[in-house]
Amino acid sequence: MNHSAAHFDAPVIDEVVPAGEPWMDVVKRGQRLRIVDLEGNQAVDTLFYNANDTAEHYSAQNTIQSQKRIYLTTGTVLVSNRGHPMLRIEDDTCGRHDTLGGACSAESNTVRYALEKRHMHSCRDSFLLALARHPLGVDAGMTKRDLPSNINFFMNVPVTPAGQLRFADGISAAGRHVELVALMDTLVLISNCPQLNNPCNAYNPTPIEIKVWAP
């Protein structure tokens, strides 16, 4: 865990994203993106793309292989499917972020919980809504084929000695944040998770804050 004491001028983006809602925008090379867990234990499902060629995107496999550990925190460089560095985590007051658990979907809600949970709102739905509604997604012609494995900022997904995943209580708290510097022009796609069926957000989805500063 690390906490930066750096001072910044007024952010160029400062938005609150309600629970269950998506957010999409470009963070330019050298800019800093801060995601704030306003009330604690919220899971923030996040995807990153090369803003100039969205066929290049965040790769969980390449990131894990390059850093030789499965959790993301200060110093982690997020690597693309083409092996290029996309962003670097500069400041992290939570200390652990998941890149294995994936995004909740209608299908996973059905398999993990119950048939009647299938139609509950999910992060995959949020991603698709953003791609269909936001000019950045429409102009790039992005579809569900463009949704790779994502990062779950603030989410606690322990891995057992047998290699199984467990969805456990979050370890974040109100006001904790993760801050990244963009190493290329990066399209950021976020679903502020609406999940009500596991303890990742204490069964209580809450808002987050997105801030972006110029270099």
Q: Where along the chain do its domains lie?
A: 22-206
CA distances from 151 to 40, 45, 99, 174, 191 (A): 17, 6, 5, 20, 10
Which whole number is the average pLDDT over 49-56? 97
Tell the residue number behind the tokens 């209608």, with chain if given. 106
Find all residues with CB under 8 Å of 34, minimum gap 6, and list them: 91, 177, 178, 179, 180, 209, 210, 211, 212, 213
Above pLDDT 70, what percent of the chain? 82
- The per-residue pLDDT for range 103-139, each reduced to its tens digit, is 675 455 544 544 454 455 777 888 989 999 999 999 9
Judged by DSSP in three states, 23 sits in: strand
115: buried, middle or exposed (CB in 10 Å: 19+, 13-18, 0-12)?
A: exposed
Q: Is the pLDDT of residue 187 over 70?
A: yes
Cβ(37)–Cβ(208) below 8 Å: yes
Of 137, 122, 178, 154, nearest to 49 (Cα)? 137
pLDDT of residue 51: 97
Residue 173 token pair: 């708290």
| Stretch among 21-25, 93-97, 122-126 having the lowest mean pLDDT | 122-126
Cβ(78)–Cβ(67) below 8 Å: no
- What value does the mean pLDDT of the chain take? 86
